[in-house]
Structure 1
């Protein structure tokens, strides 16, 4: 861990004219004490590479480097932020690579040593899509070892939600089947510039090398999507298109066909997927 040698973020933003853009889902976190607290939630970074998406003016980037990250690869689509990030790179020689581009499209092969960590204050407009991609790679275990991500609190609560709660859904299954997930930090809107209309939370997701319960990913996705796609309907109706004789299959698994998706445990969803 080192002291940050760079100017305050407010000065950097003023110098480079970096007013946040709503179209890019930008809400800058300027308090370096908070960004370093987020970096520490990810654990010891001294022996690992880190992928950061949407660094903006570099508040979290600076924290990751100051907390000892071996190397940070930052993907930023807003060209206005590149000069500020270049200044950070100069202050930490050889430890920051900045890639200009869309994180949904950029090819990161060759940039990171595996397993790496992903740590990011994700842009609100692409955060959930990125998370789903990271949780559903073609091969498991993935190249990353953990995800430390900031979301709207509502999204964070969906990731860790338990059966029976209103937040429980498809994202809960994805966030708990092959990873250990927990909310490790909450932030109020006033921590950001501009303040968003919602509270935020940081979720820590630690990779499991094997899923919590066996199931084919594609079949589990079919079951979960169908069940929560019609979550107000009983399973005998919502899963009708997924398998023939749905009531017989569910009864054989000890699952009442009259139950609804939000009452099923992860283990039960995996059992249904195995029965297809």
Structure 2
């Protein structure tokens, strides 16, 4: 099996370092270096960019990112068993790979990165959505990252890019599409991974917009969408009644039928509703 660099094939690396994937860590290793290089290319020109990678495991995507010319890669890995394999990659790419051992939910990566910054990762299934939400909801916008190139379960990927009218459409779609351009750029079958998961996977590309598509207070928009989609079977006049004493009038002012349900309402009207609620006197 050919490799994209002078390092051994990943199956050999995994066998030598006894890196059997752990279900409790959400691990599924992608072993085809041609595929990892293809994912790295989806992140764009990396030659003048630092890249943050979460959960590199044995380093397949790490090698892809470095082979594609990433200026510097910061890889955060929770599983100490993978550190020797990642150290071999760092040795092969002197000064271009930094590996931090720890939990990505607890580490501030910015002290180790120089802008411009992109994020690319085959995210562990058990923390993927939480990390995405954190990256999409910083205190200030634009965020520290230019783009996200992330692998998820296909079902999660479809929720990120969903449009109004379907079951996949919900808070995650609104959150992603409010501040970013989101699209699915690759699909991968279970057999591409070791061990093979029970679900298909997909790579999502999110490019940060300079400013949100429509003006709205993030906290108000979050409350509105939470109330709407937590009771998505209800009409909005019922699910949102706790937000304003005359919610029907506010809905109508936003161009939303009070009898509509959350999945029928597009991002622009949710943002309009959030602005009106922020401005409306409460009784």
Relative to the length of structure 1, the TM-score reads 0.98
CA distance in 2, matches of 1:9, 1:109: 29
1:211-240 CA distances to partner (integer Å, 9 max, x unpaired)? 100001000000000000000000000011
CA distance in 2, matches of 1:240, 1:274: 16
Query: Which position in structure 2 is the counterpart of 1:55?
Result: 56
Query: Which position in structure 2 is the counterpart of 1:84?
Result: 85
CA distance in 2, matches of 1:179, 1:50: 18
What displacement does 1:252 show?
1.9
Partner-residue secondary structure (3-state), 1:119:
strand
CA distance in 2, matches of 1:66, 1:41: 13
Partner-residue secondary structure (3-state), 2:118:
strand
CA distance in 1, matches of 2:108, 2:175: 24
1:108-153 CA distances to partner (integer Å, 9 max, x unpaired)? 2320012300000000000000000000001111100000000000
What displacement does 1:185 show?
0.2
CA distance in 1, matches of 2:255, 2:192: 48
Partner-residue secondary structure (3-state), 1:50:
strand
Farther off after superposition, 242-251 or 122-131: 242-251
Written as runs of structure 1 = structure 2, the 5 A alignment for 1:113-152 is: 113-152=114-153
Query: Which position in structure 1 is the counterpart of 2:269?
Result: 268
CA distance in 2, matches of 1:231, 1:242: 16
CA distance in 1, matches of 2:129, 2:115: 23
Partner-residue secondary structure (3-state), 1:83:
helix
Check the 8 A contact 2:33/2:60 in 1, yes or no.
yes
Q: Which runs of 5+ in 1 are unaligned?
A: none
CA distance in 1, matches of 2:245, 2:104: 40
Query: Which position in structure 2 is the counterpart of 1:234?
Result: 235
1:172-219 CA distances to partner (integer Å, 9 max, x unpaired)? 001100000000000000000000000000000000011100001000
What displacement does 1:3 show?
4.2
1:15-45 CA distances to partner (integer Å, 9 max, x unpaired)? 0000000000000000000000000011101
Q: Which runs of 5+ in 2 are unaligned?
A: 278-283
Farther off after superposition, 238-247 or 58-67: 238-247
Q: Which runs of 4+ in 1 moved over 2 A?
A: none
Query: Which position in structure 1 is the counterpart of 2:191?
Result: 190
Partner-residue secondary structure (3-state), 1:273:
helix
Partner-residue secondary structure (3-state), 2:100:
strand
Check the 8 A contact 2:4/2:33 in 1, yes or no.
no
1:57-83 CA distances to partner (integer Å, 9 max, x unpaired)? 000000000000000000000000000
Check the 8 A contact 2:4/2:64 in 1, yes or no.
no
Query: Which position in structure 2 is the counterpart of 1:10?
Result: 11
Check the 8 A contact 2:48/2:116 in 1, yes or no.
no
